[in-house]
Amino acid sequence: MKNRSFLSSLMLSFALLGVTLWPLSHTAAALPSIPQTTLTHDQLQPFSVPDHLQRDKLQHSTVASILPTSLPQSISSELAPTTPAALNDNPNTAIPVVTAAVYSDLISEANGQRWYTFQTTTPGKVTVYLQTVQNAAVDYNLHLFRLDTTTYSLVEQETSSYGPQTNEQISRIAPAGIYYVAVNAQTGFDATNPYLFTIQESPVYDSAEPDDNVWRAKPLTDSFNLQQQTIDNVFDEDWVKLTVTAAKSFRINFTNSAPNTNYQVQLFNQNLQSLGTINQNSDVLGSFAQGTYYVRVLSLSSYNAAIPYKLTFTEFKAPTQVEITYVSTISDINAGQRINYGEGYKWRFKDSITITGIAKDASGAPAFNAPITVAFLTKLNNKVYQAQTTTSANGIFSVTISGVQPAIGQYSSHVTVSRHYYDIVPLQVYYNGAALSANDTSLYHFAYSIWTGS
């Protein structure tokens, strides 16, 4: 009986795909049945992606129902009326489907399974996406097998077993062949609301594939730099399992230049609880405790398999102190060094100034990739001049401020044959609104000099 059902499936497959699956000399009696496979997820943690990050990608309006009563006429006519469609609850009654189409189906019994089969004619990446029912008491899982046509056994298991109300997804770099997909009712069932699913083929894909679910997330440690990964179909998800070896901050840069697309990075803790999202073309700081995290890149709209997105996590250390190492000075006395008019050694400038230094963290290590602000307060109307920059990979920074208004000459000092007039202006470097300790905290702002002759 099973053999006959299997033959029916093969005939459907033949009709749908338009290809010959086996030599005509095969008879029903000669076809072995495919052993039933036990579907479990014992090895896998039943993660659940939070609701706000759970995005249904399939629309009911575009669905071809797989229920026999709704099958296309050409298929229905093969089944009816003398051959009632067998329930596709095992590999031998799997319903043939084609890639790129969207199907719906129901599970109406506890521990039920629904099986589908499809064939690919070229090698490539295969993606199977299951849009599950929105019912907290129902947990459907997704399984993918390749049929070994020599032994008629199902091999190459890939499983996606998120928790309830979380869509399942599998990707596989797959040789051309005959594949089986099973939807397994791990917990409960919903006999009223169908699930939707689709199978996609991607002829080109990035070298990190398959990485479409949390179980296939690529392991990376601390800082990383992804420059060559793409979204190769609208369902593609690229997962990273990030190990952070000690409490660190990362500067996270996510760039996507593919036209008419919109990608997003989503951050999760090790239990897949959301830590936030990062929209494309943004640059943010994130603090991470030691531990395991998951990073998911996906498309919110369209895709481009040729233009990579770029995602970098660059370790970042918050500065607490700076060392001013050089300030451009006016050249009439002691150029290139601090001078002492009588109020201590300070750098001296007039209307233009370049300030160079190194930012350090609390331990004295270079504070790299840190956005900082260098500011000083001139005397006339208390006008503030400031410049923003980002410290280098070595913590170095340098800013130039030109067009500074004149000093008022609040102080004066006799220098050889002249009297110099100047102000003493406070200098401060800020990070994130906080003033950093520094070796220079004020400057001589030169106003003018008057010749005295002695």
Closest approach of Cβ 67 to Ca ion, in Å? 31
Closest approach of Cβ 232 to Ca ion, in Å? 5
Q: How many residues bind Ca ion (CB under 5 A)?
A: 5
Q: What share of the chain is helix, strand, coil (3-state, %, to 5)?
A: 10, 50, 40
Closest approach of Cβ 306 to Ca ion, in Å? 12
Q: Any alpha helices (H) in 132-290, and if so which ranges?
A: none
Q: Which is nearer to Ca ion, 124 or 366 (CB)?
A: 124
Query: Distance between CA 322 and CA 437 in Å, rounded?
Result: 6
Q: Is 101 exposed, middle or buried (0-12, 13-18, 19+ CB in 10 A)?
A: middle
Report DSSP state, residue 81.
Answer: T
Closest approach of Cβ 10 to Ca ion, in Å? 32
Q: Of 98-106, 230-238, 353-361, 409-417, which part binds Ca ion (CB under 5 A)?
A: 230-238
Q: Which is nearer to Ca ion, 211 or 440 (CB)?
A: 211
Q: Which is nearer to Ca ion, 205 or 341 (CB)?
A: 205
Looking only at residues 184 through 223 of this chain, which bind Ca ion when binding is defined by CB under 5 A?
206, 211-212
Q: Which is nearer to Ca ion, 190 or 212 (CB)?
A: 212
Closest approach of Cβ 39 to Ca ion, in Å? 23
- Site for Ca ion (CB under 5 A): which residue of 89, 236, 423, 440? 236
Q: Which is nearer to Ca ion, 105 or 212 (CB)?
A: 212
Q: Which helix (H) or strand (E) holds 193?
A: strand 190-202
Task: Decide if residue 158 touches Ca ion (CB under 5 A).
Answer: no
How far, in Å, are 216, 218, 384 from residue 227 at the CA level? Answer: 19, 15, 41
- Site for Ca ion (CB under 5 A): which residue of 238, 278, 422, 445? 238
Q: Which is nearer to Ca ion, 255 or 328 (CB)?
A: 255
| DSSP for 383-433, written as a single string | -EEEEEEE--TTSEEEEEEE-PPPP---EEEEETTEEEEEEEEEEEEEETT
Report DSSP state, residue 149.
Answer: T
Question: What does the binding site for Ca ion look like in residue numbers (CB under 5 A)?
Answer: 206, 211-212, 236, 238
